[in-house]
Amino acid sequence: MAISITLLSIIVFLGLTAGVLTDKEPLRTGYAPGLTEPSSQFPMGTDQLGRDIFSWTLYGIRTALFVGIVSTGLTVIISILIGLPAGYFGGKLDQLLMRVTDFFLSIPRFILIIFAVIIFGPTLTNIILILSIFSWPTIARIVRAEVLSIKEREYVQAAKVLGSGNLDIMFNEILPNVMPPVLVAAALQMSDAILVEAGLSFLGLGDPNTASWGRILAIARQAIYVGGWWTLLFPSLFITATVLSVNLLADGLNDLFNPKSVR
């Protein structure tokens, strides 16, 4: 947990101070005549079109975290709005939720996301919305399962007897106790969202106006054949460190909430 928070803080700090750490713009071509190795002027070198990898990688942190945080936030909100009433009221609503989640869990998500991005266009907003809309079923199921066990507990029954309304019980009594497993799942969802966005950009389906690690790595495909290892190494380090620290955070949260689980 300590490692992941330290690592994540460093990454967030670098992302926020990108504007101070470099005076170069990401994605702007012509800083150098061609593929240039790392030097004091270009700490991570440049690509074939003379774009500065250092600035691109730093601004890439912002894109990755923005996509990760916003899409995960949306996913969690949708999951709660659907999973909470489904678990609480049961019946038809619950049946419907289960069938819809069955559906989404039995189709290949990455291909679905590609499909939707092609149809609606590769803008950052679209990518975030598509990611959220196609990712909520897993977390909604977790919410539902938790609600099913929590709603039978005494304090919830007590609140009911005391005349609390359904909304009040759902959001004030049940929701806070549903959150621990949801937070673990949300952390995993966030690392997944970062990977999917980078994957889309790698395939040329990212937003062309944002600095994404996936796109540098697509450029690396040609650059590594002519000695440009730096186009591969630095963005790879950053994306791996980011995803790793978020995954470690999920592990840490899981241990925190389930201290008895086997390690």
Partner 1 sequence: MPGGTKEYLLKRILIGLVMVPAVIIFTFILLKLAPGDPAVLMAGETATKEYIEMIREIYGLNKPLHEQLMIYLGKLFTGDFGYSFTFKRPVLNVILERVPTTLLLAGTGALIAIFFGIVLGVVAAIRKDTVADNVISSLSLIFYSIPIFALAQFLILFLVIQYRLFPLSGYVSIGVSPDDPINYVRDVLWHLALPSISLALIQMATYVKLTRTSMIEALYSNYIIAAKARGLKWRRILFKHALKNALLPIITVAGIQLGLIIGGVVITETIFSWPGVGRLTIEAIEARDFPLLNGIFVLTSISVIIANIITDIIYTYVDPRVKLR
Stretch 142-201 residues interacting with partner 1 (CB under 8 A):
191, 195-196, 198-199
Q: Quick one: 26 or 228, whose CB is closer to partner 1?
A: 228
Q: Quick one: 83 or 214, whose CB is closer to partner 1?
A: 214
Which of these, 112, 41, 3, 57, lies nearest to 232 by C-alpha position? 57
Q: Quick one: 79 or 254, whose CB is closer to partner 1?
A: 254
Q: How many residues bind partner 1 (CB under 8 A)?
A: 45
- Structure tokens, 148: 């099913």
By CB under 8 A, is residue 9 in contact with partner 1? no
- 228 with 49: CB under 8 angstroms? no
Which of these segments, 46-54, 113-121, 155-163, 173-181, binds partner 1 (CB under 8 A)?
Answer: 113-121
Q: How far is CA 74 from the centre of its chain?
A: 11
Which of these segments, 6-14, 22-30, 34-42, 216-224, binds partner 1 (CB under 8 A)?
Answer: 216-224
Stretch 23-82 residues interacting with partner 1 (CB under 8 A):
none
Q: Kindly report the CA angle at 49 between 201 and 19, in degrees rounded to 5?
A: 70
Coil, strand, or helix at residue 52? strand
Which of these, 60, 201, 58, lies nearest to 122 by C-alpha position? 201
Question: CB 243 → partner 1: shortest distance, Å?
Answer: 4
- The span from the CA of 175 to the CA of 152, in Å, is 14
Q: Which residues of 98-107 are buried (b: 16+ CB within 10 A; e: fewer)?
A: eeebeebeee
Q: Using CB under 8 A, which of 129, 160, 247, 255 touches partner 1?
A: 247
Q: Quick one: 75 or 80, whose CB is closer to partner 1?
A: 75
Coil, strand, or helix at residue 46? strand
The CB density around residue 91, as the number of other CB atoms within 10 Å, is 8
Q: Using CB under 8 A, which of 2, 20, 111, 162 touches partner 1?
A: 111
For binding to partner 1 (CB under 8 A), which residues are involved? 102-103, 105-112, 114-116, 118-121, 191, 195-196, 198-199, 202-205, 214, 217-218, 220-221, 224-225, 229, 232, 235-236, 239-240, 243-244, 247-248, 251, 262
